[in-house]
Structure 1
Amino acid sequence: MSKAFTKESDADDEEPLSEPQLPAGAKNYMTPRGYALLKAEFDHLLKVERPQMVETVSWAASNGDRSENGDYIYGKKRLREIDRRLRYLTKRLDDPIVVDPATQQGLEQVFFGATVTVGEEDGSEHAYQIVGMDEADPAAGRISWVSPLARALVKARAGDVVRLQSPSGLREIDVLEVRYLMDSIPPALAGNE
């Protein structure tokens, strides 16, 4: 049978989800900054991108033959991607536990929201903020609270040495400082709450 007469399912070209999944039974912790970023992305997808893509697909469908219509094919694929992301964001924004690091003043131990300065075995120092899974950005010093490093640091105090099993072997990390800083919301998002 010719391929022209077979129905291709929408699921054929879907990619597996790459979004981070919460551990079973875990709560969805996030900082105010992380919540604002996810909410802004949700609003943009729902109010701007999706309506534009629906309009493009509608226009492309009105042009006739859809089997070789690139605008239609790409538009349908992009709509599926947007809808998948909207479902994911809806789940994440459904029941978050927003923890503002600024409200945790005076804590000496490392918990969610802490900014921890550590000393590595090679003498280098790094600062990490423990944040929600969706706002993790290791290059910017924000690590997820479920990451091995964050789990090793939790409940440590300045002056403690923590051990971390890494792919390169056992590492010892000196906890130099524990701070709870104001969680800054990007200025472009500050008015969107």
Structure 2
Amino acid sequence: MNKVPMTASGFETLKEELRWRQQEERPRIIEAISEARSHGDLSENAEYHAAKESQSLNEGRIGELEDLIARAEVIDVSKLSGETIKFGATVELVDEDTEETRTYQIVGDQEADVKSGRISISSPIARALIGKEVGDAIEVNAPGGARGYEIVKVAFI
């Protein structure tokens, strides 16, 4: 059973989604199935089939969330320190071509959101950053081509 690294906030987000799916979404779907069933012939009842599909998707996600929560290895980023980049680090980079500054936090796969500056530990840029320090230059082979970055700052927030 492989452990899944995640931050405390990512763990709480998964627990909240599981609670919502079990306590709010599941009863709503059951009600929709019951309502559709009352309309008669199930073989040609689109509402019934849509509700059953929603139920299947919801139950699948509940199973996935329960598995992730059971295998979670919650890492308290505030207790980490050091100069070397590792899981949970917030890293400030400067693009060597455009001089544009970017800030990323390295998080677990389930909580990654590039738009909010959180990148997955398994992403190409995070893999290139792990083990590096301030002042190091990295090259990332991204889908758009190779990009060069210089590490300006490392923090554990």
TM bucket normalised to smaller? over 0.9
The TM-score with structure 2 as length reference comes to 0.94
List gaps (5 residues or longer) in structure 1: 1-24, 182-193
Match of 1:130 among 96, 106, 110: 106
Query: Cα distance 1:59–1:168, how it changes in 2: closer, same or farther (>3 A)?
Result: closer
- Cα distance in 2 for partners of 1:146, 1:94 equals 20
Alignment of 1:103-114 (within 5 A): 103-104=79-80, 106-114=81-89
Match of 1:145 among 86, 108, 121: 121
Count residues with an aligned counterpart: 156
Give structure 1 regions of 4+ aligned residues with deviation exceeding 6 angstroms: none
1:120 maps to what in 2? 95
- Look up the match of 1:189: none
SS of residue paired to 1:43? helix
Which residue number corresponds to residue 49 of structure 1? 25
Contact 2:2 2:71 in 1 (8 A): no
Matched, 1:83 2:81: no
- Residue 58 of structure 1 deviates from its aligned partner by 1.8
Cα distance in 2 for residues equivalent to 1:130 and 1:67: 49
Distance 1:167 1:27, change over 3 A: same
Distance 1:154 1:80 in 2: 39
**Residue 94 (1) aligns with residue 70 (2):** yes
Distance 1:155-1:79 versus aligned 2 partners, 3 A rule: same
Partner amino acid, structure 1, of 2:118: R
Percent identity reads: 36
* SS class of match (1:112): coil
- Residue deviations 1:123-151, cap 9 Å, x none? 00000000010110011110000001000
1:52 to 1:169, Cα distance in 2 relative to 1, 3 A: closer
| Deviation for aligned residue 1:107 | 1.2
Write the letter of the residue equivalent to 2:88: G
Partner of 1:60: 36
Q: Deviations over 1:6-45 (max 9, x none)?
A: xxxxxxxxxxxxxxxxxxx853000011001111001100
Length-normalised TM-score, structure 1: 0.77
Q: Distance in 1 between matches of 2:13 and 2:107?
A: 13
SS in 2 for 1:151: helix
Residue 159 (structure 1) aligned to one of 108, 116, 135 = 135
The two structures, once aligned, show a CA RMSD in angstroms of 1.3
Q: Note the alpha carbon deviations across 1:94-140, whole angstroms, 9 max, x for none.
A: 12000111010x31111100000000021000000000101100111
What is the alpha-carbon distance in structure 2 between the residues aligned to residue 33 and residue 154 of structure 1? 21
Tell me how far apart the structure 1 counterparts of residues 32 and 144 of structure 2 sit (CA, whole Å): 50
CA–CA distance in structure 1, aligned partners of residues 147 and 102 of structure 2: 14
Q: Match of 2:155?
A: 179
Greater share of strand: 2
